[in-house]
Amino acid sequence: MNEAETAVHPRKQAGYHVGGPMFDTSGKVIQAHGGGLLYENGVYYWFGENKEYTLGDGKIWTYGINCYSSTDLINWKNEGLIIPPDTENPHSSLHPSKPLDRPHILHCRKTGKYVCWLKLSENDAYFVVLTADAITGPYTIVRDRIHPYGVRVGDFDLWQDEAGNGYIFFEHDHNGIFAATLTDDFLDITEPHTDMFTGLKPPYTREGVTHFVHNGKHYLLTSGMSGYIPNPSEVAVSDVPLGPYRVLGNPHRNDPSGASCNSQISAILQHPQNPELYLTLADRWIPSLVMTADIWDKLCVGFRALEKHRWLFHLREIALMGKMPWQCNKINTSLAEYVWLPLHFEGDMPVIDCTSNENEVHHECNSLKSEVSL
């Protein structure tokens, strides 16, 4: 058998997909953006925002939360809208016009319930909590319009330890990230917390929070704050879930985009059969926007010039900023794509290789396939 016959195309390899649409087993485009991942009883569940009708006209932000299931990370069955939109009540947190983002689900061991947290990115940004008896629903809102510690909330992640204790990590007020514990039923946040990465301004403010664990160490991977425009990721490490966390730097390697492989990570899953293999799930919100490291550097110069009122000295950079699609509600995210890439470790440093050379990707896919059955 020759090399061409044994090569595995990255878009057909479990855990590898670098741009382009993904399809479910019925042939429809997968709609699960800002997604989360859960593995249970031999099945992977991928849930996220249904952007099918988000056409950039400002009318629909998210049309409910979809869920897909797979046993091999390649063939994804559509489980339907596990949290359907409330199309009747325009004041409902689930109305399609509401900026509903980033679902995360935990199976609470202490109650047996599946607990889903959502965030709404309105001026009065808040959390919504729903529960169900099965991961595929139906879900019922049990708490609405939650402002922990009296703050406006942002991107977040949930995590459950081996003892069944729950944790939440969330951006707040565009000015930092809180790490806190959940109550035993995962329906609320307790008082003790850590405030991290404060005092930064966009695009350096941290959001897009994702938590994972390796060899007993806790990691937070975050993006910068630039709407749907991709930017460099950053990873930090701690010995305990609540921190404090020490910044390690950008985990992306061989990345000509200079912006996290033109994507924003929403979930990281440790493979259940291989603790050294992690899979990153990311959104490429604007596929037509091809970022480069040079463009990103110019945008940062523009941000700093505006902040210091020195825009007359950087007119080109300011002009470039004016051409970028900053208004998220004006973007047709029904066209958004996905990026799945493996994450490995070099010492304590997580590394995501954005290799664009297809032969190198083939080689890495086949090497991993020989190590573990995906």
CB-based contacts of 1: which residues, under 8 Å, 6+ apart?
A: none
Q: How confident is the model at residue 123 (pLDDT cuts 50, 70, 90)?
A: confident
Averaged pLDDT for residues 45-64: 97
For the chain, give the percent of residues with pLDDT over 70: 91
Q: Tell me what pLDDT residue 77 has.
A: 98
Query: Sign of torsion, CA 9 15 18 24?
Result: positive
**In this model, does residue 346 exceed pLDDT 60?**
yes
For residue 5, being part of any structural domain is answered with no
> In this predicted structure, what is the pLDDT of residue 11?
43
Among the listed residues 237, 218, 208, the one whose alpha carbon sits nearest the alpha carbon of residue 121: 208
The residue type of 19 is G
* pLDDT score at 151: 95
Q: Is the dihedral of CA 19, 20, 21, 24 positive or negative?
A: negative
Work out the mean pLDDT of the chain and round it to a whole number.
90
Residue 127 in this model has a pLDDT that exceeds 80: yes
Cα(175)–Cα(235) distance, integer angstroms: 17
The closest alpha carbon to 18, from 284, 286, 278, 334, belongs to 284
pLDDT at 16 over 90: no
The dihedral formed by the CA atoms of 30, 32, 38 and 41, expressed in degrees to the nearest 10: -30
Q: Domain limits at 259?
A: 10-289+325-371
CB-neighbour burial class of residue 266 (10 A; exposed 0-12, middle 13-18, buried 19+) = buried
DSSP string, 43-75: EEEEEEE--TT--SSSS-S---EEEEEESSSSS
The pair of three-digit structure tokens given for residue 69, joined into one six-digit string: 């299931």
Per the domain annotation, does 3 fall within a domain? no
Residue 143's pLDDT is: 98
Average pLDDT of 114-133? 96
Report the Cα–Cα distance between both ends of the chain, in Å, rounded: 22
Q: Does some domain include residue 305? A: no
Q: What integer pLDDT is reported at residue 361 of this predicted model? A: 36
Q: Mean pLDDT, to the nearest integer, of 265-272?
A: 95
**How large is the average pLDDT for residues 215-236?**
97
pLDDT range class, residue 355, cuts 50, 70, 90: confident
Q: What is the mean pLDDT of residues 246-250?
A: 98
Q: CB–CB of 103/119 below 8 Å?
A: no
Q: Check which CATH number belongs to the domain holding 201 and give it.
A: 2.115.10.20
The count of domains in the chain is 1
Q: How far apart are CA 221 and CA 208, in angstroms?
A: 8
283: in domain:
yes
Looking at residue 12, its pLDDT comes to 54
DSSP secondary structure, 188-200, as one string: SEEEEEEEESTT-
Asked if the model's pLDDT at residue 165 lies above 50, the reply is: yes
Question: pLDDT at residue 357 above 50?
Answer: no
User: Tokens 């007020």 sit at which residue?
Assistant: 173
Could you give the count of Cα atoms lying within 13 Å of 138 in the half-sphere of its Cβ? 4
| pTM recorded for the entire structure | 0.91
| Cα 169 from Cα 182, distance rounded (Å) | 10
Note whether residue 14 is domain-resident: yes
> Is there a domain that residue 344 lies in?
yes
Give 300-328 pLDDT, tens digit per residue. Answer: 999 989 888 887 778 888 899 999 999 99
309 falls within a domain: no
Does the structure show a pLDDT above 60 at 9? no
Question: Token pair of 288, please?
Answer: 């037509």
Asked whether the beta carbons of 261 and 282 are under 8 A apart, the reply is: yes
Over the stretch 269-280, which tens digit does the pLDDT of each residue have? 999 988 889 999
Lookup: tokens for 247: 């910044």
Question: Is 164 part of any domain?
Answer: yes
Specify the higher pLDDT residue, 99 or 15.
99
Look at residue 373 in the predicted model and tell me its pLDDT: 32
Q: Would the pLDDT of 374 be above 50?
A: no
Q: What is the pLDDT of residues 172-184, one digit of tens each?
A: 999 999 999 999 9
Residue 312 makes CB contacts below 8 A (sequence gap 6+) with: none
Overall average pLDDT of the 241-250 stretch = 97
Instruction: Tell me the per-residue pLDDT of 64-91, one tens digit each, with 9 for 90 and over.
Output: 999 999 999 999 999 999 999 999 999 9
- Identify the three-state secondary structure at position 260: coil
* Distance in angstroms (rounded) separating the CA atoms of residues 22 and 8: 17
Token representation of residue 115: 């607990």
> 365 near 374, Cβ under 8 Å?
no
Inter-CA distances, 174 with 263, 291, 374, Å: 20, 23, 38
Tell me what pLDDT residue 5 has.
Answer: 30
